Every structure is written in C-alpha cells, then in structure tokens.
Amino acid sequence: MLLVVLWLHAVFSKLRSLGASRAQMLRLSMNLSEIARGRHFIKRTGSKFALRTSGRNPNPGFSSVNESGVVIDLRRLNSVSLDGDDVLRAGTGSTWRQIYPFLDERQLSATGGRDSAVGVAGFLLGAFPNLHGTGADGVKNFEVVLADSTIINANAGSNPDLYRALKGGGSNFGTGIVTQLDIATYPLIKVQYTINLYNPSDYLNIIHATLQVQQAMETDPKIGLFTNFHSGFVAVGLLYADWADEQPKVFEPFTNLESLMTAVAPTTNGTLLSLAGAMAHLRSPQK
C-alpha cells in the first residue's frame, strides 16, 4: 500500500529554503576511509554536522547546518550493483534515477521513491508504505561508520538492534553514517498510473475522494494514491500495481470530479521507471 500524502507546496518550499543554510565546511566524501576520518575529526572537535545526499529533505538542519558546522556530502558514494541473489547494493549517494533504469533492464523492481530525484538513503532510512511493505523493510543490510570511526554492518544477524533502529531512524541518525545499503528486489512490478491536476478550489471534494480511495486500500494492497496540494493545482496520482485494459473502478471518486484541469499523465500501463519519469512533469506542470 502506498502512502497518501497531503503535501502543502508553499510550506514545503519555505521549509526547504530554511533547511539549506550555509555551513562552515563542506566535505565531499569519496570512500569509507574519508568518511571515517571526517567522523573522527567531528567527534574530536565537537562540531555540529549534517549529512547530505540529494539534499531534498525540507526540514531545517536536516541536510545542512549553520556557520559553525560541517556538512558531509555523500553524493559521490553512488555505486550500484547486484549480487547473485538479486540483492541490490547501492551507495548511500545514489538516487532512484540511477536505480530504476538499472533494475528495469534486469526485469526487477525495488521499493523506492516515486520521485526519481530522491536519494536512496534518505528514502530508505524513513518508512513509506508500498506493495511490499515499507521502503525500510526491504533493506537487508546497512554499512555504517560509527562515531568512533569503526565500520560495521547492521543486519538481522549482526548488530540487530542498530539494524532495527536504522529502519525509520532518519537520515541524520546519531549513531553513525550509513554508507551503503543492500536492498531486496522483486520481479518487475507492473504499474498502471494516471496523474491528474485538479482545481484547488474543489478541495473538499478532493479530500473526500482521497478518503474513499484510502478506505479501499485497506483491502487491496495493489491500490496506490498520492494527493499533493500546491498553490495553483492539486496533483493526484491514481496507481494500481498491475496492468489492465481499463482503470479500476475504485478511482471513480476522482474520475467523476468536475474540477479536473488536465491529465499530466493519461492512464498508462508502465513500470516504476516510467512512473518516476511521469512524476518529473509535476515539478513544472503546464497551466
């Protein structure tokens, strides 16, 4: 089941600008030893610090600090590979823009963000519901640099308490710096999706339709929905984890609304890769 998100765009933009404060030092990390040295320096000096991959978290201080602190930028840790058991191994600096094409070519899928620009680590250290559970549920192993610069693995058999804590602990989890994630994959997920824009003046009916579809999600895990409120439009994604000749009737509360402005993405049978591509249109929708 996918999370129903009511996203107030104006608030998001304001928070994001607050979160992008200027740090005293920016450290671009290339490998584990550099991260370990940086973490040792921060511990020795007692400096404030923040971690950054894609930098999309809008909360103040989550991907930056003020002039007294250090930002460790992990974007260069962006390697992607697949082991013999079809477990995806992704550097913490990779994004879903890298992951989805890599898996799509191999007829595989993973639980990830619907926006391809979102960082892998930032998404998976949170918890977003999906057909195969939350994104964090799919992580098999975390490679972590601890505060004392020790490099360990956290999984069900090794450091299990840390493994559980990292699932939803957030991207600035205080115990250590996640540098690599091993992620479960699944046979390629077929997705039927429609992305519509509605007039925000009809917000009461839009919210009512959202609640109706959300109730149906309780009994059918293939149903997915997002409702994003912006200043000039409401973006609604109607998602179903299977292909069909017609759109499922469960979405009729939305298709029957008279406030429909346009379809950014008409009903399409695709994959997570094509859905992420369609989501890119929401960044600058046509009026």
- CA distances (Å), 193 to each of 15, 30, 98, 135, 279, in order? 29, 38, 21, 20, 10
pLDDT of residue 121: 78
H-helix or E-strand spanning residue 16: helix 9-19
Burial label for 211, CB within 10 Å (0-12, 13-18, 19+), is exposed
pLDDT band for position 108 (cuts 50, 70, 90): very high
Confidence check: pLDDT of 149 > 90: no
Confidence check: pLDDT of 287 > 50: no
pLDDT of residue 45: 76
pLDDT band for position 199 (cuts 50, 70, 90): very high
Average pLDDT on 113-122 reads 77
Confidence check: pLDDT of 225 > 50: yes
- CA distances (Å), 275 to each of 54, 90, 190, 233, 278, in order? 20, 21, 10, 20, 5
Tokens 């929401």 sit at which residue?
A: 282
pLDDT band for position 250 (cuts 50, 70, 90): very high
The 3-state secondary structure of 218-251, one letter per residue: CCCCCEEEEEEECCCCEEEEEEECCCCCCCCHHH
What gap in Å lies between CA 38 and CA 88, rounded to an integer? 27
pLDDT band for position 61 (cuts 50, 70, 90): low
Average pLDDT on 244-251 reads 93
Please calculate the CA angle 284-9-139 and round it to the nearest 5 degrees. Answer: 90
Residue 183 in 3-state DSSP?
A: strand
pLDDT of residue 8: 31
The structure tokens listed for 166 are 């990292």
The 10s digit of each residue's pLDDT in 75-107 is 888 999 999 889 999 998 898 889 999 999 999
Pick the CATH number of 80-187 from 2.60.120.260, 3.30.70.980, 3.30.465.10, 2.40.160.20: 3.30.465.10
Confidence check: pLDDT of 128 > 70: no
pLDDT of residue 119: 81
Mean residue pLDDT across the chain? 80
The structure tokens listed for 30 are 């290339």
DSSP assigned state of 119: B
Phi, psi of 140 (to 5 degrees): -90, -25
Average pLDDT on 208-228 reads 92
* Cβ atoms within 10 Å of 45's Cβ, excluding its own: 10
pLDDT of residue 176: 82
pLDDT of residue 55: 61
Pick the CATH number of 190-283 from 3.30.310, 3.30.230, 3.30.200, 3.30.70: 3.30.70
Average pLDDT on 208-220 reads 94
pLDDT of residue 233: 94
Average pLDDT on 66-70 reads 68
Confidence check: pLDDT of 18 > 60: no
Name the residue ranges covered by the structural domains of the chain.
Answer: 8-13+21-73, 80-187, 190-283
Confidence check: pLDDT of 145 > 80: yes
Burial label for 107, CB within 10 Å (0-12, 13-18, 19+), is exposed
Confidence check: pLDDT of 126 > 60: no
pLDDT of residue 47: 73
What gap in Å lies between CA 130 and CA 92, rounded to an integer? 21
Average pLDDT on 122-132 reads 61
**Which of 157, 81, 158, 174 is CA-nearest to residue 166?**
174
DSSP 51-111: EESS----STTSS---TT-EEEE-TT---EEE-TTSEEEEETT-BHHHHHHHHHTTTEE-S
